[in-house]
Amino acid sequence: MTERKNAKAVWVAVDWGTSHLRLWPMASDDTPLCRIDSDMGMGVLEPAAYESTLLALLEPYFSPDASLDVICCGMAGSRQGWSEAPYATAPCRPPSLDLATRVETADARLNVYILPGVKQNDPADVMRGEETQIAGALVAQPGMDGVICLPGTHTKWVSVRGGEITSFATFLTGELFQLISKQSVLRHTLATAGWNNAAFEAGCLAAVEAPQALANALFGLRAEALLTDLDPVEARSRASGYLIGLEIADMRPRWQGKTVVLVGENEIAQAYATALGTQGAETVLADAEEYTLAGLRSARAQIA
């Protein structure tokens, strides 16, 4: 994204995560002037610090005597965030500005709106931020009837139909992989980087064939390393395959016979595409940033 220097913003799109903050000062044609990345995520901020954080990052983009609409998604609306934005309840449309929480600010140049997340009562589940990407997906494909997968530390599988989020499921797969890699006995066995695609596919297939044997398969990596000098990159890739394969198998009723939209073009999204491919599923990779911006643009368009 090429920065347009000395340009002033008309409004600001914000994705406020737990560990990272991304801002896009927007021009009058709804295109970003730039993207601002910051480590000032929800996890390191007290509620009183959110406004000053925004002001420091946005100072070059204010116009004299004009205010900025700031449309936020993500963890700024959590209970530990800036101001809690109550969840909408699935099944529902991805919540937009009509349900947003308006935040009072000391600086009159900021008009801050925080979009709500979505909750599911049975089985219990929640999301914050992903619903805005889903809104962006529905802007791109208004008639979508299928499943959207949002890979990450906590991967979400979201069923959509008729413009609504009908149900969703969250998996702790990414966090489990981090814990196993860094805090279990497998920390001595798994490489910290590198990738073996064939080993990953083998892990996926093994997990689908025998999901009940996951714990045994994981310890088997340690044993192979001790007895046959298993390559650490192969071990890492197989472990990832075991965990993602288990998730893919559980979600089969959602994706069977449908094209899965994977939101992200990073390595983890590619891994999910590979895992689904081992089961014959069709996938499409979508740009996560573009979907986030499309969802935030859609929300901002509701301001009169």
- Work out the pLDDT band at 273, boundaries 50, 70, 90: very high
Query: Does 130-304 match 1-128 at the fold level?
Result: yes
The answer to whether residue 171 scores a pLDDT higher than 70 is yes
Give residue-wise pLDDT tens across range 37-66.
999 999 999 999 999 999 999 999 999 888
Asked if residues 25 and 9 have their Cβ atoms less than 8 Å apart, the reply is yes
The answer to whether residue 304 scores a pLDDT higher than 60 is no
pLDDT at 137: 96
The answer to whether residue 184 scores a pLDDT higher than 70 is yes
pLDDT at 220: 98
Phi and psi angles of residue 95, each rounded to the nearest 5 degrees, phi first? -60, 145
Interval 22-33 mean pLDDT: 96
| Residue 37 in tokens | 């990345």
Strand 11-16 with 68-74, pairing: parallel
pTM of the model: 0.93
- The domain locations on the chain are 1-128, 130-304
Interval 181-210 mean pLDDT: 98
Residue 239 identity (one-letter amino acid): A
pLDDT at 2: 60
| Residue 58 in tokens | 């946005």
Give 179-185's long-range contacts (Cβ < 8 A, gap of 24+): 180/218, 180/239, 180/243, 181/236, 181/239, 185/219, 185/222
pLDDT at 3: 63
User: Could you give the CA distance from residue 187 to residue 183 in angstroms, rounded to a whole number?
Assistant: 6
- Work out the pLDDT band at 69, boundaries 50, 70, 90: very high
- Work out the pLDDT band at 118, boundaries 50, 70, 90: very high
Residue 296 identity (one-letter amino acid): L
- What DSSP string describes 43-73? GG--GGGHHHHHHHHHGGGPPTT--EEEEEE
pLDDT at 151: 97
- Work out the pLDDT band at 293, boundaries 50, 70, 90: very high
User: Could you give the CA distance from residue 115 to residue 14 in angstroms, rounded to a whole number?
Assistant: 10
Please give the share of the chain, as a percent, with pLDDT higher than 70.
Answer: 98
Residue 143 identity (one-letter amino acid): G
Q: Tokens 């494909």, residue?
A: 141
pLDDT at 276: 98
Q: Work out the number of other CB atoms within 10 angstroms of the CB of residue 227.
A: 8
Asked if residues 270 and 175 have their Cβ atoms less than 8 Å apart, the reply is no
pLDDT at 65: 84
Residues 186-197, buried b or exposed e (16+ Cβ, 10 A)?
Answer: beebbeeeeebe
- Work out the pLDDT band at 191, boundaries 50, 70, 90: very high
Interval 124-140 mean pLDDT: 96
Fold of 1-128: Nucleotidyltransferase; domain 5 (3.30.420)
Q: Tokens 């100072």, residue?
A: 59
Q: Which CATH number fits domain 130-304: 3.20.20.60, 3.30.420.310, 3.30.70.60, 3.20.20.70?
A: 3.30.420.310
Interval 123-151 mean pLDDT: 96
